[in-house]
Amino acid sequence: MPVRKQGYELAGPIWKKAMVNLYAEIKIRHYSPSTLKTYTNWVRKFYAFTECKDPRTLTPVDVKKFLAYLAVKKKVAASTQNQAFNALLFFYRHVLKKDFGDHTDTVRAKKSRYIPVVLSRAEVDSVIKNLSYPYDLVVKLLYGCGLRLFECLNLRIHNFNFDAGILTVHDGKGKKDRTVPLPQKIILDLKAHIDNVVELHQADLKTGYAGVFMVGRLDEKYKNASKELIWQWFFPAKTLTFVPKSKEYRRYHLHNSHVSTAIRSAVRKAKVLKRVSAHTFRHSFASHLLQANYDIRTIQELLGHSDVRTTMIYTHTVKSLTAKEAKSPLDL
């Protein structure tokens, strides 16, 4: 059976079973939906590259050929090739139960120096002014707390501790938790927004909705949690979602594509001549802290980076002083 150019439809029960097992292995480790999607896509591309080769006969050589193909023929970025490498490593070890082999001699994609796009404070303010509610509040949290977009949209009411002035981010990248300070300038905005969420929640309860979508098996562990106020999304979707399997209505959070569209529109209106995405505000958060002389370890913790080397990339976004511009500590 031929492989589709888009979608890579799987042929044969062995490959279909392998994909089912891949899904199960990812789920049992509580990896994020984005990881599930990414790993699945790479395995499907690998399947197409090997021309539907029986997975029982796959060897480390097939992986080397595929990675070399990505680097030489497709000319992908090093990060993209690493993503494929990690997906296939997981597939070989946990699904095929095969030796992945030594890939030190594999052709690697050329690493390019990446410098994040950073907005000035004036540009951040200008973009926010051109955003309507609740997208303006989303961006204020992205910039004010250094959040990733998925971290922001996954926030629930109980993540906010106004008494302590902190925001707790659960299940960030790598399933790590962290706390960040809440920007004092937007506390009133946040509380006013919660009032709106409470109002929406009351309306949902009257309609007899089944609650919000819950992560993993929390719905089974805490039967009524999905209808409790503290578990409601901080940024709820505007409409309820019908779940065909259970024939019930549940509420999801604001969709990331809606946020991205709103940001693009605001950037155009603000006449900001830079490539701006939701992640740009996280980059700006880190760079502005560095400019304010925060130490790199503190910024690492606030961003939730496992390795300080990841945080060090922001040193390239801040102007360095020449020997003549630098001052002696006695003159500061």
Give the active site residues: 148, 173, 279, 282, 305, 314
Residue 12 is encoded by which pair of tokens? Answer: 């044969």
> 295: which 2 tokens?
């130490």
Q: How buried is residue 43: exposed, middle or buried, by Cβ count under 10 Å (0-12/13-18/19+)?
A: buried
Copy the structure tokens of residue 132.
């309507």
Q: Is 224 helix (H, G, I), strand (E, B) or coil?
A: coil
Query: Which candidate, 166, 135, 165, places its Cα nearest to that of 153?
Result: 135
Q: Are 111 and 37 in contact (CB under 8 A)?
A: no
3-class DSSP state for residue 50? Answer: coil
C-alpha 31/C-alpha 74 separation (Å) is 28
Inter-residue contact 299 to 286 (CB < 8 Å): yes
Q: DSSP label at 167?
A: E
Residues 6+ apart with CB under 8 A from 173: 148, 151, 304
SS3 for 249? strand
Closest CA to 238 of 204, 274, 275: 204
